Structure 1
Amino acid sequence: MKVIQKSKIPSAYSSPPIDRLSAVLDRFRVRAALFHTGSMCGHHAFEAVPGRAFMHVLRRGEMEVRHSPGETATPRLRLAEPTLLLYPRPLHHVFVNPPHDGSDFTCATLDFDGGERNPIVRSLPSVVCVSLDAIDGLRPALDLLFAEADHVRCGSRLLASRLFEVVLIQLLRWIVDHPAEAGVGSGLIMGLSDPRLAKSLVALHHAPHEDWPLERMASVAGMSRSAFAAAFRTATGTTPASYLTDWRLTLAASMIRAGAPVKLAAAELGFSGAASLSKAFRQRMGVSPREWMAGPGAGTLKTGEGA
């Protein structure tokens, strides 16, 4: 009897998986730098320095993490198992370990392109704390990381730093799939966690220069305009039009910081000209691109405004 195999062609009702992170990470890269591996005894304070983020891997031991009152929803964390800690923004934190035979850590600083204006950074809580065993596939990368961090070999520190970046991407994957467990309330990550909204977000992340009226965004998501607009605002905390403007301006700020002329940034990001970009930039930043570049820091986007 002839056996008829089931077709492997996807059903018309199934959606192929999409890469929700690469377009953002390609535009806004992150660089890690290993700075510690081994035991920590007693108190260790990590200062809040502008532009500096941290990732700590607790490999062995029990300890307490302390934050300044009012700066996070968790003033104290008690860790009793191997744990990954991510501080995407500057936040003073203190590790409290036994005075002798302290916990084992491997730690790195992180430099996110755009600092606190990085769209991923802006959508994350001030601290992410997750057990190593909660993230599928993390252990092999950590084994390689620890092997390089623990032994001085040619290029070991550089390779360990790159492996920290791999670990970060795996953590971000987990956060997109488990936003509530990571403490994410709204923003880009919450939008990417919704399979329908993610289709639209990924499309406009890839092609910010194209026209993106509400009808097109909703169509890509497979939703009606009203349902899409409501779901988008609930997830991201802003309107689709305002999000698109903020995304374009965040990219423009990155390009201008890298030395690109305003006219070129405008042409590549869908603005009608340099004057149009400068006007939108001033509305969001409070200053012109020229004034922003001359300032002591890079102003923050006023998100959530506009239509």
Structure 2
Amino acid sequence: MNTPATTLVIGATGTTGRRVAAGLSAKGLRVKAAGRRATPVDGAQAVRFDWYEPATFGEALDGVDRVYLVPPIGSSDPAEVMLPFLRRARATGVRRAVLLSSSAMPAGGPVVGQVHQALPGLFDEWAVLRPSWFMQNFTGPHHHGRTIREDGVILTATGKGRVGFVDAEDIAAVAVHALADDRAPDTDLILTGPEALSYEDVAGIITDVTGRPVVHRHLTFEQLRERLAAGIPLEFATMLAGMDRAIADGAEDRTSDTVERITGRPPRSFRALMEAEMSRGGT
């Protein structure tokens, strides 16, 4: 008799993690919801987990055969703590791993790119989700959401560059399939919404849907780096500002069919997300 699969969802109260935990639980699958405070999540077993405290790894991994990996927030070198955990996970019986990365981070590239590169050699089954920028950046606690609410402005160094913004619900839906289907994709997956939008386009949609004027204000790379460095380490601020510069150069001007191909339904548009937020009284 086969033991039912148990999935460890790291970052289970975060933007994608809580959606992944809920989606797996809705399928009747066993879920361990991991976080620094072991916060209860409906349908899941709460367990304490901290990337920087290896003593939390054992209980989190006990009885687990697959894992959803959300890297430590704000780290410019997540491989330093993630790779020892992943080696331990493999040794304790984890056979499938699904990593949340970014469309801006190729295998072997900076930040989580080093973990991406190592994953196929560590696990029999794997997937790397490489979503474009989250639509929820404009509605949640992200700095774009804050400046929209406080000042009616979006501040970037992206110029007229366009991005295939993607809904976190669609990212989570792909993750649930990658974790729960009979086979993992065993590849990396670029995830986008249905259209590529400039930040001016985004500001226009928010204005149209909410009735509140929102504008996109252009910053230079240096201005953005200085602004970000007021709240985060300079190295990380430089990396984030560099991502905006890459968008200005066209690096994210693309869409993919991955969400529909994996889930069987088209990805949600930014306008649809904003309309849903308004109907819930958000933004």
Fold match by TM threshold 0.5: no
The higher radius of gyration belongs to 1
TM-score by length of 1: 0.28
TM-score, normalised relative to structure 2: 0.30
